[in-house]
Amino acid sequence: MLNREIKSILEKSRKWGWVLEPDAQRILSLYGFKTPKFDVAATGSEAVAMARKIGYPVVAKIVSPDVVHKSDVKGVVVGIKDDETLIRTLARLSKIDGFAGMLIAEMVRGVELIIGAKNDFQFGPMVLLGMGGVGVEIYKDVSLRMAPLNTKDADHMIHGLGARKLLTGYRGSEPIHLNALKKTIVIFSRFMMDMQDVVESVDLNPVMCNAKSCIVADARIMLKK
Amino acid sequence: MNLKPLFEPKTMAVIGISASNDRHPANVIYDKNNHRYPVKVYAVNSRGGKLHNEMVYPRVAEIPAKIDLAVIATRAELVPDVMADCIAAGVKSATVISGGFSEGGRDDLQDRIVDMAREAGLPFIGPNCLGVYVPSRVDTFFLPIERMIKPEAGGVTFVSQSGGILVDHMIKFAQQGVGMAKAVSIGNKAFVREKELLAYLSHDPATKVIAYYIEGFGEGEGRAFVQAADVCAKPVVIMKSGKTAAGNRAVSSHTASLAGDYASFAAAVAQHNIIEAANENELVSFCEVLSSYTRPIEGRIGIITGSGGHGAMAVDACSLAGLAVPEFSDQTRTEIKNGLSESVRTIASLGNPADLTGSAVDDDFVACARVLAASPEIDCVVVLLLPYIPGVSLDIGVRLSSVRRQSGKPFIAYVPHVEKYNMLIEGFELNGIPASSSIEGAVLMAKALARRSSC
């Protein structure tokens, strides 16, 4: 169910046609997804205080209603280890169009997956699972299924991935927490059913999956026009 | 929505009869049904008069009988008035043959007749369609009777958005010896659509397999359809066109570009226990086998062949189709060997495929088939039957069918389809073993049985 806060964020975002990342993260965490610790800073001193509280290393990202694809404007910096780099990063990001703050989040590690969905004209919400990162549209290693989904559906989707071995432990790598992944997929499909009247498409990319959990490290929520 | 009067009409009005043109669609429909099918046919034209000495009624209301099915073939602009007449006269169903509605930009006209029909509860097929063909019952196709090729009565019902594709497949079904229960051309599918037909056909005793040719669904219609198909006890087969059109729209997210229209279609369909046929050959093969066998298989195929090359081709096709061709155990091999004739025993190779060689006779095929029919190692038998092998007789199909019947395991045959071999082919098909005209086709049939269970 969508609570009042989620609804008010969606209402506020309508003018941009999409939901800014801090707002998207807030919506997801309210809905029950695991998200990284994060905060948004406008000044250097704020940034430093926040990063110290979260704990280095951190990732810094541009927050701007003009920037849907953050990496296209070099708006994402990962692995920031000290105050100096952080302040330098803020100085650079603040020059990007529409700068509305810098999001600082804890670094999460794991296998990068994409969990996405689009509102299909004929079939309604369709959920996608794939190996994430920038290569997602090159390899096209994805599973697709109509929402809502149960755990068995989620299992089918994982088995439909060519690279599923990377999830279950390959050449000494640690297997990811498959039940956490399935749970994330199931919650996401329910989220899409709840959001189908307002949302056009959603990318959770990347979702970082490791042996302990699956964390939504970035989210793009595109609203219906 | 009661569709029975549409498929089993006792009385029928053909509206839009021409006084001067015998090739007018309405006249063709009138002629082909009148005195040929167990349905009383009435001609209607607002001008009245006579057609070949039979009465032409000016309006449906003047026909001295309740009409089960009205076939409307007037100009599009006249259809709303005709439909109003039909509703007033208590007509139970209709098919609107006329074109000139949303396909020609006249959404307004189409919306009008839909609103009228919905309010009155008058189910209609079309507009812009051929309507329905039910063997020995009714035929609203405006194709002259001498031009049509009609398959025998059987278990396949084919519902098509395109009339042309439908008629083409009737030819293909006839060629392949696949019987049809109904053929339905739904055209613009303004009112009765795939889902309503599914609901009716799932309870239609004549229909064993429900096949669709689909170009696209309306908003949310695909979702409702696949969910209904999922709980339908009968196999549903879909052939889709328009798979590539919308791929290159500019999209703002990864998911939207990866989950294109066709990708979503294929995924939603497969997820709901619907079998998608990639092309016409698959469609015909799938329909044939699914109307013969209702029980799904896991997909462990035993192959019997009279030629090593055919066996190898079949194994390749199986592995492409995701079917297993497990090697027979020593015990199974010994059992097969013990049943073979002396001369074949020494030269046959029995790994799987069981290659009985060109020296094999009927008895060898039957003996091998008996062992495989009983073996738990495989759950479907594909027989690659070469009628030119000297030891094979015309009885082979009949004899293998009786082995099949005793075991209950599905058998599928490949036999080259030329006129010379017809009696042999019918020996299979008339006794319940589908016979494909290609090795690949035979394997596709097995794939359809396996897919039915995989979801």
pLDDT tens for chain B, 455 residues: list them: 899 999 999 999 999 999 889 899 999 999 999 989 999 999 999 999 998 889 999 999 999 999 999 999 999 999 999 999 999 999 999 999 999 998 888 999 999 999 999 999 999 999 999 999 999 999 999 998 889 899 999 999 999 999 999 999 999 999 888 999 999 999 999 999 999 999 999 999 999 999 999 988 888 999 999 999 999 999 999 999 877 654 434 444 556 656 668 889 999 999 998 999 999 989 999 999 999 998 889 999 999 999 999 999 999 999 999 999 999 999 999 999 999 999 999 999 999 999 999 999 999 999 999 999 999 999 999 999 999 999 999 999 999 999 999 998 999 999 998 889 999 999 999 999 999 999 999 999 999 999 765 43
Give the global pTM: 0.90
Please report residues of B whose CB lies closer than 8 A to that of A203.
253-255
pLDDT tens-place values along chain A, 225 residues long: 678 999 999 999 999 999 999 999 999 999 999 999 999 999 999 999 999 999 999 999 999 999 988 888 899 999 999 999 999 999 999 999 999 999 999 999 999 999 999 999 899 999 999 988 767 777 888 999 999 999 999 999 999 998 888 898 888 788 999 999 999 999 999 999 999 999 999 999 999 999 999 999 999 999 998
- Range list of H helices, B202-242: 221-230
Contact state of B253 with A120 under an 8 Å Cβ cutoff: no
Tell me if residue B148 falls in helix, strand or coil.
coil
Strands (E), B60-162: 69-72, 93-96, 124-125, 131-134, 138-139, 153-160
Residues A176 and A115: beta-carbon distance below 8 Å = no
Give CA–CA dist B217/A122, Å, rounded.
Answer: 6
Q: What is the pLDDT of residue B454?
A: 45
Check the CA dihedral B420-B421-B426-B429 and report its sign: negative
Q: What is the pLDDT of residue A193?
A: 96
Tell me if residue A83 falls in helix, strand or coil.
helix
For residue A12 the two structure tokens come to 């506020």
Could you tell me how many residues make up chain A? 225
Chain-centroid distance of CA B406 in Å reads 28
Q: What is the pLDDT of residue B218?
A: 87
Q: What is the pLDDT of residue A174?
A: 86
Q: What is the pLDDT of residue B254?
A: 59
Contact state of A126 with B219 under an 8 Å Cβ cutoff: no
Chain A, nearest residue to B217 by Cα: A122
- Range list of H helices, B237-329: 254-258, 261-271, 280-292, 308-320
In terms of Cβ atoms closer than 10 Å to its own Cβ (0-12, 13-18, 19+), residue B97 is buried
Q: What is the pLDDT of residue B272?
A: 93
Q: Write b or e for each residue in B333-363: b if 16 or more Cβ atoms lie within 10 A of its Cβ, otherwise e.
A: bebbbebbeeebeeebebebbbbbbbbbbbe
Closest partner residue to A203 among B217, B255, B265, by Cβ? B255
Give CA–CA dist A178/B231, Å, rounded.
Answer: 29
In terms of Cβ atoms closer than 10 Å to its own Cβ (0-12, 13-18, 19+), residue A109 is exposed
Closest partner residue to B271 among A114, A146, A201, by Cβ? A146
Q: What is the pLDDT of residue B294?
A: 84
Q: What is the pLDDT of residue B250?
A: 41
Contact state of A120 with B222 under an 8 Å Cβ cutoff: yes
Q: Scanning the structure block, which residue is given the tokens 């084919």? A: B158
Contact state of B271 with A117 under an 8 Å Cβ cutoff: no
Best residue in A129, A144, A161 for a mutation probing chain B (most B CBs within 10 Å): A144
Give CA–CA dist B455/B274, Å, rounded.
Answer: 9
Secondary structure (DSSP) of B323-362? -B-PPPPHHHHHHHHHHS-HHHHTT-B-SSSEE--TT--H
- What's chain A's Rg over C-alpha atoms? 17
Q: Could you tell me which of B38, B39, B37, B52 has the C-alpha nearest to residue B12?
A: B39
- A144 Cβ under 8 Å from any chain B Cβ: yes
Q: pLDDT digits over B334-391, tens only?
A: 999 999 999 999 999 999 999 999 999 999 999 999 999 999 999 999 999 999 999 9
Q: Scanning the structure block, which residue is given the tokens 């008035």? A: B81
Query: Strand B138-139 vs strand B153-160: parallel, antiparallel, or unpaired?
Result: unpaired
Q: Which of residues 1-60 of A touch B (CB under 8 A)?
A: none
Contact state of A126 with B223 under an 8 Å Cβ cutoff: no
Check the CA dihedral B445-B446-B449-B453 and report its sign: negative
Residues whose CB falls within 8 Å of the CB of residue A75, separated by 6 or more in sequence, listed in order: A61, A62, A64, A67, A93, A96
Please report residues of B whose CB lies closer than 8 A to that of A149.
none
Phi/psi of residue B174, nearest 5 degrees:
-65, -45
Which bin fits B282, alpha (ψ -120 to 50), beta or left (φ > 0)? alpha
Residues B124 and B94: beta-carbon distance below 8 Å = yes
For residue A160 the two structure tokens come to 């439909």
Chain-centroid distance of CA B440 in Å reads 19
Chain-centroid distance of CA B340 in Å reads 39
Element (H, E) at A223: strand A219-223
Give CA–CA dist B15/B231, Å, rounded.
Answer: 38
Closest partner residue to B271 among A68, A121, A145, by Cβ? A145
Tell me if residue A203 falls in helix, strand or coil.
strand
Check the CA dihedral B266-B269-B272-B277 and report its sign: negative
Q: Scanning the structure block, which residue is given the tokens 């309503």? A: B196
Please report residues of A whose CB lies closer than 8 A to that of B253.
116, 118, 201-203, 220, 222
Contact state of B226 with A146 under an 8 Å Cβ cutoff: yes
Please give, rounded to a whole number of angstroms, the shortest distance from the CA of A192 to a CA of chain B. Answer: 13
Best residue in A19, A70, A123 for a mutation probing chain B (most B CBs within 10 Å): A123
Query: Strand B236-240 vs strand A142-146: parallel, antiparallel, or unpaired?
Result: unpaired
Please give, rounded to a whole number of angstroms, the shortest distance from the CA of A201 to a CA of chain B. Answer: 7
Report the mean per-residue pLDDT for chain B: 93
Residues A195 and A2: beta-carbon distance below 8 Å = yes
Residues whose CB falls within 8 Å of the CB of residue B375, separated by 6 or more in sequence, listed in order: B302, B328, B332
Q: pLDDT digits over B205-252, tens only?
A: 999 999 999 988 888 999 999 999 999 999 999 999 877 654 434 444
For residue B311 the two structure tokens come to 């066996």
DSSP secondary-structure letter at B51? E
